[in-house]
Amino acid sequence: MVAKVVVKLGGGLITDKSSIKTPRLDIIDSICDEISNLVSSGNSVIIVHGAGSYGHLLAKKWSLSQGLRKDFSQQQREAVQIVRSDMRELSSLVSKSLRDRGLETITFPPSEWAKNTGDSFEGDVSMFDSFHGNVVPITFGDIVNVDGAAEFGILSGDDLMARISIEIPSVTHCVFLLGDADGMMDKPPHLEGSKLIKLWKSGEFVETEHNTEQDVTGGIELKAERASLISKKVEEVWFINGNCPERLSELLTDGTTIGTKIVG
């Protein structure tokens, strides 16, 4: 079966989230090697990536997720422009790695086509269904304009994943590549004895931990919520360790791999 796969490259996977603008180029290249393999096998791929240290740290410093604040509005507006530029820079690294492997890319910064935040943001995602074969469309979490006095807000890559996966009828697989675990764990992955949950559905309890110092968009909880929404429309929704990107091909070939399948 030829698949259409929407892949989320987590910001904590492709960057060091603790150090501003620190890409993990080796990880980006290994993932792009695997995406090249998928495309050469006849599959289509759409990429969404997170911000990591190219967005979260500055957004946290200037409270950009809260919208405009009168006490430091000028600094916030300047920070918005910096983050938007930095996100394009990070996206260009992903794009370059794909082009180095013979693929064509086209990038859609959400600040140019989307408005408002959450999974009901305004913006037509049907354009991502216009590219096939050797062309890989890319988008990413970004700071977008919003209605009202807030002026701007953060549109998460997880919300983009939900809209793209649900609204494009040809999507067969939706895969979230994580940076610190094989999938969803029964408790935070750094804790001794944490175990992989092979099947998960909304409502099942998982002990999670959200690093609010580095993440301004909701962490694993938001991913789980959006993945659950997607699973009502797309049968194959997975959390997979992005440090082992070969599991993408294994999933498409064998129908399963090491990871967590999200079931509706």
DSSP 18-81: TSTT-B-HHHHHHHHHHHHHHHHTT-EEEEEE--GGGTHHHHHHTTGGG---GGGHHHHHHHHH
Average pLDDT of every residue of the chain = 93
Highest mean pLDDT: which of 111-125, 183-197, 212-226?
A: 111-125
- pLDDT score of 219 more than 90: no
At residue 157, the 3 state secondary structure works out as helix
Check residue 203 and give its pLDDT. Answer: 75
Q: 135-177 pLDDT, tens per residue?
A: 999 999 999 999 999 999 999 999 999 999 999 999 999 999 9
Task: Give 211's contacts (C-beta < 8 A, 6+ positions apart).
Answer: 219
Residue 62 near residue 78, CB atoms below 8 Å: no
At residue 260, the 3 state secondary structure works out as strand
Number of folded domains in the chain? 1
- pLDDT score of 36 more than 90: yes
Check residue 211 and give its pLDDT. Answer: 53
- pLDDT score of 212 more than 60: no
- pLDDT score of 215 more than 70: no
- pLDDT score of 56 more than 70: yes
> What's the average model confidence in pLDDT over 97-126?
98
pLDDT band for position 217 (cuts 50, 70, 90): low
CATH of the domain at 198: 3.40.1160.10
pLDDT band for position 204 (cuts 50, 70, 90): confident
In this structure, what DSSP letter does residue 185 have? B
- Percent of the chain whose predicted confidence (pLDDT) is above 70: 95
> What's the average model confidence in pLDDT over 196-214?
73
Residue 76 has phi, psi (to 5 degrees) of -65, -45
The tally of CA atoms less than 13 A away on the side-chain side of residue 19 is 6
Check residue 18 and give its pLDDT. Answer: 87
Residue 4 has phi, psi (to 5 degrees) of -115, 115
Range of the domain at 231: 4-262
Q: 114-143 pLDDT, tens per residue?
A: 999 999 999 999 999 999 889 999 999 999
Cα separation, 42 vs 127, whole angstroms: 20
- pLDDT score of 225 more than 80: yes
- pLDDT score of 216 more than 80: no
Cα separation, 132 vs 223, whole angstroms: 26
Show contacts of 57-61: CB within 8 Å, 24+ apart. Answer: 57/17, 57/20, 57/214, 58/20, 58/82, 58/83, 58/86, 59/83, 59/143, 59/154, 59/216, 60/213, 60/214, 60/216
- CA proximity to 111, closest of 77, 154, 148: 154
> What's the average model confidence in pLDDT over 239-251?
98
- pLDDT score of 16 more than 70: yes
